[in-house]
Chains A and B, each alone.
Chain A
Amino acid sequence: MGKGNSNKVVILIISLFISLIVGAVVFAMCGYSPLSAYIAILKGGLGSRSSIIISLSQTMIIAFMGLAYITAIRAGICNIGLEGQMYVGAIAAAIAGVYIKGIPSFIHVPLVLLMAIVAAGLWGMLVAVLKIRFGANEIITAIMLNFIAENFTSYLVSGPMKVEGTVAQSERVQDSAHLVNLVDTPQLSSGILIFFFLTIIIFLIMKYTRFGFEVRVTGENALAAETGGISAKRTMSIAMFTSGAIAGLAGAIIVIGVNGRFIDGFSSGFGWDGIAVASLAGLNVIGNIFSSFLFGVLRAGATVVNRTARIPYDFIVVIQAFIVLLLGCPKLSEDLYGKIRKIAVRKGKKDE
Chain B
Amino acid sequence: MSDVLNMIQSILFSAFRMGVPLAFAALGGIYSSRAGIVAMGLEGMMLTGAFSATYVTYLTNNPWFGLLGGMIAGMLLAMFEGILIVRYKLNQVIGGVGINLLALGGTNLLMQMVWDNRGKSPLVPTIGKVNIPGLGSVSVLLILLIVLAIASWFLIYKTAWGLRLRVIGENPQAARSLGIKTNQIQYTAMAVCGMLSGLAGSYMCIDQLDFFSRNVTAGRGYIAMSIDILGRYHPLGILAGGVLFGAADASQVALQRFNISGQLLKMIPYLVTLLVIVFAVKHVKAPASLGKNMNEE
* Chain A interface residues (CB < 8 Å from chain B): 26, 29-30, 78, 80, 130, 134-137, 139-141, 143-145, 147-148, 151-152, 154-155, 158-159, 272, 275, 279, 312, 314-318, 320-322, 324-325, 328-329, 331-332
Contacts and interface: CB of A to CB of B under 8 A. Distances in A.
A135 B96 CA distance: 20
A331 B88 contact: yes
Contact of A312 (B108, B261, B267, B282): B108
Given A80-B97, A312-B113, A325 B278 contact: no
22 contacts: A78-B94, A80-B93, A136-B277, A139-B96, A140-B222, A141-B277, A144-B219, A145-B274, A151-B263, A151-B267, A155-B261, A275-B94, A312-B112, A312-B118, A314-B105, A316-B105, A317-B104, A317-B108, A318-B105, A321-B102, A324-B101, A325-B95
Contacts of B185: none
B38 interface: yes
B106 to A, nearest CB: 6
Nearest to B271: A148
Contacts of B263: 151-152, 154-155, 158-159
A137 B229 contact: yes
B174 interface: no
Which of B104, B105, B112 is the most central at the interface, judged by chain A CB atoms within 10 Å of its CB?
A: B105
A247 B59 CA distance: 43
A155 B102 CA distance: 29
B109 to A, nearest CB: 5
Nearest to A324: B98
Interface in B258-297: 261, 263-264, 266-267, 270-271, 273-274, 277-279, 281-282
A159 B113 contact: no
- Interface size for chain B: under 10, 10 to 19, 20 to 34, or 35 or more residues? 35 or more
Interface in B78-117: 84, 88-91, 93-99, 101-102, 104-106, 108-109, 112-113
B233 to A, nearest CB: 13
B225 interface: yes
Contacts of A143: 219, 222
Contact of B99 (A312, A317, A325): A325
Contacts of A145: 274
B84 A325 contact: yes
Interface string B109-149: 10011000010000000000000000000000000000000
Given A155-B261, A312-B113, A328 B277 contact: no
A331 B97 contact: no
B226 interface: yes
A136 B278 contact: yes
Contact of A141 (B84, B91, B278): B278
B8 to A, nearest CB: 24
B182 to A, nearest CB: 18
B40 interface: yes
Contacts of B270: 144, 147-148, 151
A312 B101 contact: no
Contact of B273 (A144, A152, A331): A144
A318 B88 CA distance: 20
